[in-house]
Structure 1
Amino acid sequence: MLPTGPTGKPIKTTDLHVGEAEPGCKKRDPILVVDGVRRTFGGLTAVDVDHVEVPRGAITALIGPNGAGKTTLFNLLTGFDKPDAGKWTFDGRPIAGVPAYRVARFGQIRTFQLTKALGLLTVMDNMLLGAKGQSGENLFRALLPFLWRKQETDNQAKALDLLTRFKLDTKKNDYAASLSGGQRKLLEMARALMSDPTLVMLDEPMAGVNPALTQSLLDHILNLKAQGMTVLFVEHDMHMVRHIADWVIVMAEGKVVAEGDPHEVMKNPAVIDAYLGSHHDEDIGEDPAAEVEHVSAITELLDDER
């Protein structure tokens, strides 16, 4: 079954791009456009992306073996790191060099592989931190409660609604530190929605999640698209990628080596080489167990396609 867009109509990959599905191909309506982004650490080139575009209103998966540069690219695009060279635009606005907090205000929100919930604050307080434009944050207005009381009440109602949707409403008064790893993932995603983002970037949303919560997270990611948001996520679970992604971008050794439909990309020789090629044996900082998992997943998917 084809993935569906916000209107409920199926999304075809041919609706997302122009010309051949190849690295750096043009998208019909890109929300994020990246040009010439390069980041090195000493003698190691972590990211070297000539051109890539993320289609609006779709779920795009960013995949690749360990050490491919996926998270580094995320950090660059969201203002948590600075590139050696390159530029990019979000919704037509140049944001290279823009601090992370301003990028978030523009509507580009990210989550982290290791959750950033503030453990010594309650779940509700964590949610309220995600709301934009809070009048009470101004020193003068903070002294005049009548200027911000209604806004705070509205934010609390919105936070409770989101917590209910994510089945965390019964935890609203608990400290975030008391949540399980999967619940923290849910909290981080719910908190991101407090700012009404246009683009949600998820860094390995399934990492460390109890299998019982996996389907819940999948449903929430699909709901983001149903609500009109664009999703870009890093993931190693190839079955999940094939299940929910409309488009896949594959990185290896810092470069984009393939793009396209999830089912077709898995057959691409460049992708097979990226996961199975011997040159990855020398990558710095790799997790051998995780790499074995990636190889098993890609070969299993290839067997399924046959």
Structure 2
Amino acid sequence: MTDSRPIAVGENTPGCKKRDPIVVAENVTRSFGGINAVDVEYLEIPRHKITALIGPNGAGKTTLFNLLTGFDTPNTGKWQFEGNSIAGVSSYKVARMGMVRTFQLTKVMGKLTVMENMRLGAADQPGERLSKALFKGIWGGREKEITAQAHVLLEKFKLDAKKDDYAASLSGGQRKLLEMARSLMVRPKLVMLDEPMAGVNPALTQSLLDHIKNLKAEGMTVLFVEHDMNMVRHIADWVVVMAEGKIVAEGPPGEVMKNPAVIDAYLGAHHDVDLGDAEGIKELEAELEADEESVVGTEDAGILSEIVETKEDGK
């Protein structure tokens, strides 16, 4: 049964509290030289929901992912997962706790087969310990369990026919699927996807979308970075917007697209354009068409187009 209760407690403002958060982050900062890449005062990620993390290029989205999952060290801050502090915890320990992530540039082991990649993702493997590696009787049973689990996931992701192929032979979209499938080997509670649609053939896009929705249906929480606003609008329950390292807006997709702070974050030099007026919208479209490559980039231009369409629909 679908839970129709509000996700946030109170108003949908930046850093608002959630009814049932799985991740809570406070005062998380990360700077590179004189640049504040991340400056998150407070953020909660709702449990059993699909949350999209969006923002202009360079907003700090991937850096925040790296900090939360132990792949980078913040200057300040603390954060919890399932009520347990994971500040300073190694990335592999974070994954074992049930918080896993994928990468914008896939991290599959190209010289290993698809099945070998899947086995690497599993936890609790006695054979990894040198003292037990020579005794197959100790770890053989667990390896059979891992292999059986991998077979089930590969069939679900339609990669079972590729199980004996080297991962390097897979297409970009298939590597995304493999990385997502491998992350499920630890039976995670939170799956974090960094631009899951980047570089994916359109033929595999719907498959990836279905798999992401299935993660939620199976009781997992999803947090993903994405520039495709059509995807965000159709599968996200909640949207968090970052700009210049800060959280500038939160809320349901339709509400966020109308938020002045979001419009300002994406428009930059175009902030003086009146989006409430038909002529203002046409003016913005003309300006974006002229400089989308040199100023906002094609990814940000896609989100801007969605903002414009939302404004037009709401008139």
**Same fold by TM (over 0.5)?**
yes
- Alignment coverage as a number of residue pairs: 294
* CA–CA distance in structure 2, aligned partners of residues 279 and 43 of structure 1: 26
The 8 Å contact of residues 47 and 69 in structure 1, kept in 2 or not, is answered as: yes
* CA–CA distance in structure 2, aligned partners of residues 53 and 264 of structure 1: 18
* CA–CA distance in structure 1, aligned partners of residues 200 and 84 of structure 2: 35
RMSD of equivalent CA atoms: 1.7
Match of 1:9? 2
Secondary structure class of the residue paired with 2:141: helix
- Evaluate the alpha carbon distance shift between residue 286 and residue 183 of structure 1 in structure 2; reply closer, same or farther with a 3 A threshold: farther
Compute the displacement of 1:294 (Å).
Answer: 3.1
The 8 Å contact of residues 100 and 192 in structure 2, kept in 1 or not, is answered as: yes
Compute the displacement of 1:298 (Å).
Answer: 2.7
More relative contact order, 1 or 2 (CA 8 Å, 6+ apart): 1
Match of 2:190? 199
* CA–CA distance in structure 2, aligned partners of residues 91 and 235 of structure 1: 24
Structure 2 residue 93 is the aligned partner of structure 1 residue 84: no
TM-score by length of 1: 0.93
- Structure 2 residues without counterparts, runs of 5 or longer: 272-293
Please say which structure displays the higher CA radius of gyration: 2
Structure 2 residue 223 is the aligned partner of structure 1 residue 232: yes
Match of 2:307? 298
Match of 2:111? 120
Compute the displacement of 1:240 (Å).
Answer: 0.6
The 8 Å contact of residues 102 and 180 in structure 2, kept in 1 or not, is answered as: yes
- Structure 1 residues without counterparts, runs of 5 or longer: 1-7
Give CA deviations for 1:151-201 in whole Å, capped at 9, x if unaligned: 101110110110000000000000000000000000000000000000000
Compute the displacement of 1:9 (Å).
Answer: 1.6
Secondary structure class of the residue paired with 1:40: strand
Moved over 6 A (4+): none
Task: Return the match for 1:212 from 199, 203, 207.
Answer: 203
Compute the displacement of 1:279 (Å).
Answer: 8.7
| Counterpart code for 2:2 | K
TM-score by length of 2: 0.90
Match of 1:52? 43
Match of 2:24? 33
Give CA deviations for 1:105-124 in whole Å, capped at 9, x if unaligned: 11000000000001000000
Structure 2 residue 27 is the aligned partner of structure 1 residue 18: no
Match of 2:276? none
* CA–CA distance in structure 1, aligned partners of residues 97 and 126 of structure 2: 18
Compute the displacement of 1:293 (Å).
Answer: 3.0
* CA–CA distance in structure 2, aligned partners of residues 276 and 79 of structure 1: 32
* CA–CA distance in structure 1, aligned partners of residues 62 and 236 of structure 2: 18
* CA–CA distance in structure 2, aligned partners of residues 301 and 279 of structure 1: 17
* CA–CA distance in structure 2, aligned partners of residues 124 and 227 of structure 1: 23
